[in-house]
Amino acid sequence: MWGGRFSEGPSAIMEEINASIDIDRRLWREDIAGSKAHAAMLAACGVISDADNKAIQKGLDAVAGEIESGQFKYDKALEDIHMNIEARLKALIGEPAGRLHTGRSRNDQVATDFRLWVRTACEQSAAALRDLCRALAARALENADAVMPGFTHLQTAQPVTFGHHLLAYAEMFSRDASRFDDAARRMNECPLGAAALAGTSFPIDRDRTAKALGFDRPCANSLDAVSSRDFAMEAMAAAAITATHLSRLGEELVIWTSAQFGFVQLSDAFSTGSSIMPQKRNPDAAELVRAKAGRIVGSLNSLLIVMKGLALAYAKDMQEDKAATFQCFDDLALALAATTGMIGDLHVNRDAMKEAAGHGFSTATDLADWLVRKLNMPFRDAHHVTGAIVALAEKKGVALEALSLKDLQSVEPRMTDDVFDVLSVDASVASRTSFGGTAPANVKREAKKLLKALKAN
């Protein structure tokens, strides 16, 4: 297909390393759409005849039908999806097929196909993230007053609500969705018509093809159009950040489902058993989501490393861009679907959460705040006094609220009975009413706000 310069065909090894059809056949829809837009533009500009354009359009529709129905026969000797489609088009319509490639190259053709695919992948990822945010917000609303321990260093810190914890992830995933939106907007420039690298001498209308394919405008520089893959790298970077967030949530689900925590239980749909231990209920879906992050980050690294040393414009190295990108978004789609499913039918053990929230002197900060408010004590002094009271409780082997007033007054004589009003975990979370705080009223308001925004999106 690449012509008369060569007197002999490639060796079997060269054919094997050169062919990409097993990977890039996924681009057939984008390739046919790009070819249809290109042919229509050529006819409108008088570069090819209307009759040739009609034959090409009809032929490409026929090729699409064959691929859709599974009747299309791919030929590895034709290297890639572009040549496979063009060869079949020629077999169907004859000479007009040879005019389709006027004013373009495989370089701008594949760059266009790939941008179209990655743009769709970004849109689909953003939509899946918003589905996950809906699931998180709905569960947050249900559990706005479910008290659990909040952690720093995985040590009990302060009581929070489970709803608040879920909304933290909803915030992360909302930002992830916006990153995909931004990436899709930024990549929305059309390479078609850049040809091999220098543009073309034919009187083409690049604005027309850009508009036909849903792009905002043509790429402004022909070299950049065919040699840049930053649109894929940016999309994969958004995927890697998303995967990191998914992995963190997966890790927490693994911890929370353990017998030592027992905060939540995954449904049967997202759990597995053991081949030898009949009692086991393994959070495999969460663990696999956690593992997918490594694959997604690895895919990004793969493309970054492929591109880092390439001079402009096109080099065959760039053929390896699609395998990494396809794998990245396949893994991401599965991880998002699994996480949304797990959150959607999660069983929450409120009693276990609340009991754990009271461990580890989690209301110590509330005691320090009380000393500041009631006794006008500088916070650093209140911190010191509270630390001494915690040490006393630890020595006696009791919780803070189980200390007597006499015990408390042995450390700070001005303590009064109303200090016990702030030492329960319920009182602690209810008091955190500052914007962004964990108070149940805050959580309900923010969950409803998010659900309303997502409904409008």
What are the catalytic residues?
Answer: 153, 274
Nearest to 160 by CA among 448, 451, 442: 442
Burial class of residue 8, CB neighbours in 10 A (0-12, 13-18, 19+): exposed
Q: Name the packing angle between helices 230-257 and 162-186 (round to 10°).
A: 170
Q: Which of 126, 122, 106, 113 is nearest to 3 (CA)?
A: 106
Q: How many other C-beta atoms can be found within 10 angstroms of the C-beta atom of residue 182?
A: 14
* Distance, first Cα to last Cα, the chain: 47
